[in-house]
A and B are shown apart, each in its own frame.
Chain A
């Protein structure tokens, strides 16, 4: 904290931190690849969830609107990509057409959901958004008759990977003497996208709109009295969060090559919300931390629990899959129990909490 007294050294330290972060970000896919491509994919998902969690953070963290159906927008983006770039309809549009389209579509859905529900507050809003998410999922699941649009529960397969000219993200290729596998290429794409969304989040936070959101979060009536058009500003939060979800969905589709309604259950919404809250609502580094931890922890448990049981008991006593989720659930409870404001809350929030407790 003595950096404040010497601004130049603080700035130097900042740059050092950024460079270190850059090196780590560059190294991750190569280090992970040593453990197998599966770990690169896990890293990819962690970043995808960072993206999603930051999108939800706009709605929940900044504007204070509890959204339990966020996954609906993710699903809209994913299905938009899947339908427009797969043999299902025989349409193969390039990604730079579909991703903005998916984002726009998700944005429209966000406004559609937001417009009638703006009057609702707190838990009522939560349950309506939850219902909305379920409706979208049920439609995805059943829109295979009478006209086959989503191919029902089987989902859509053989989705095109992201391709720029002849450069496909699905294949291994090498340039400048470095060989990159498909997942590794997606990793760099995702990092670029994540950096973009982080930048947008940071810029929004201190903008006029961001301050308006925070004002609404703290006290809607007072915000209105201050001349904030609460209706439009809330709609904007929904629309922005939704478009981020839409983009993430498109990338997910392309990366997996397969989508089905199963990927968009309520549990998914809840997991993303848990990332935001567990990390520290409204605080960007906290949300990023939450997303990485909650993606990494279940995977680490997946690989850790089986050998551990064998080492302790000599055989498998409990189904590792359920034990993994059990530990995950317990971790959620324990973290919230001992750090109610999240793992890495913003200093302002920590102060407020200390005041209200004292």
Chain B
């Protein structure tokens, strides 16, 4: 019982991060039907930038929360610019190219970003200085920290903000219109280029927030961390039905919980034949099972012939 509660708490924390990253994938996919393979790398850059800012401000005598806030803000801004630049350089010129072409440029950009990060931040793990004094709370035999509370609540706030943006503002309306039918939307006076750029920018900002969370949760970062994180988050987006905002959020949380439960229980389930180092396969096994029975994800609408 304690393990169950404990794994649920850990899973929710991880799931909140996945959900934020998954939103970045799903927004871009929903609008132009393209997998932004470089998104995981944007998240990684977000973590790295936050790290640099926090380390350089740590000795300045500012209150730690302010330092953390500045780190978050700078990393969000850097990632927004990065997302915008990615769209301009790697995707916009190829909007009418064959479908696989932007996939390859995305992979190319992802290689470029990884290696730029390696040149700047080195090839070793870097350790985050602990800025929040960690407090541990106990409930019913399980424990959680104030960092976890901060992560989950910040994710909730950001997601509510996104829902407001998409459903209550003009640019949100333009986004929904473009997602439905770009051609007609442009006839109605929607500036498609602007909408697509906005999807990349907002997605990258969410990614930066997620990156800061990962950094302060695990307290380490690495130039290759974006890859697996991006992969899992993309899996979460597909799980929820790609292109669907609520689906990405639900898929992220679900994936986090499944992974945590899987890692916690696989030993018991298989009589210790398989251990917790199989954690990474849960995401993919669940994904395959869900897609076999619901080919367009848990909450996805039936997609047409996009292949």
Given A125-B307, A142-B278, does the pair A340, B119 have CB atoms closer than 8 Å? no
Give chain A residues whose Cβ lies under 8 Å from the Cβ of B273.
Answer: 146
| Cβ B93 vs Cβ A281 within 8 A | no
Give chain B residues whose Cβ lies under 8 Å from the Cβ of A273.
Answer: 100, 104
Considering the chains assembled together, what is the distance between the CA atoms of A111 and B215 in angstroms?
41
**Contact partner, A341, options B98, B234, B303, Cβ 8 Å:** B98
**Contact partner, B307, options A122, A128, A349, Cβ 8 Å:** A122
**How many chain-A residues does the 8 Å CB contact rule pick out?**
56
Give the interface segment out of A40-48, A94-102, A112-120.
A112-120
Residue among B109, B235, B242, B307 having the largest count of chain A Cβ atoms under 10 Å: B307
| Cβ A336 vs Cβ B116 within 8 A | no
Mask, A200-242, CB within 8 Å of B = 1, is 0000000000000000000111000000000000000000000
Query: Is A318 part of the contact surface with B, judged by Cβ < 8 Å?
Result: yes
Considering the chains assembled together, what is the distance between the CA atoms of A141 and B273 in angstroms?
14
Query: Is B284 part of the contact surface with A, judged by Cβ < 8 Å?
Result: yes
Give chain B residues whose Cβ lies under 8 Å from the Cβ of A274.
Answer: 104, 107
Query: Is B90 part of the contact surface with A, judged by Cβ < 8 Å?
Result: yes
Query: Is A331 part of the contact surface with B, judged by Cβ < 8 Å?
Result: yes
**How many chain-B residues does the 8 Å CB contact rule pick out?**
56
Give chain B residues whose Cβ lies under 8 Å from the Cβ of A146.
Answer: 272-273
Query: Is B94 part of the contact surface with A, judged by Cβ < 8 Å?
Result: yes
**Chain B: CB-nearest residue to A352:** B98
Query: Is A121 part of the contact surface with B, judged by Cβ < 8 Å?
Result: yes
Query: Is B280 part of the contact surface with A, judged by Cβ < 8 Å?
Result: yes
At the interface, is chain A mostly helix, strand, loop or mixed?
helix
Within 8 A of A (CB), among B14-50: 29, 35
| Cβ A329 vs Cβ B119 within 8 A | no
**Chain A: CB-nearest residue to B289:** A116
- Please list the residues of chain A having a beta carbon within 8 angstroms of any beta carbon in chain B: 60, 64, 66, 116-117, 119-128, 130-132, 134-135, 138-139, 141-142, 145-146, 219-221, 266, 270, 273-274, 277-278, 281, 318-319, 322-323, 325-326, 328-333, 336-337, 340-341, 349, 353, 356-357
Supply 12 further A-B pairs (C-beta < 8 A) apart from A121-B305, A127-B287, A277-B100.
Answer: A116-B292, A131-B287, A134-B231, A141-B277, A220-B307, A277-B101, A281-B98, A323-B115, A333-B108, A337-B105, A340-B101, A341-B101
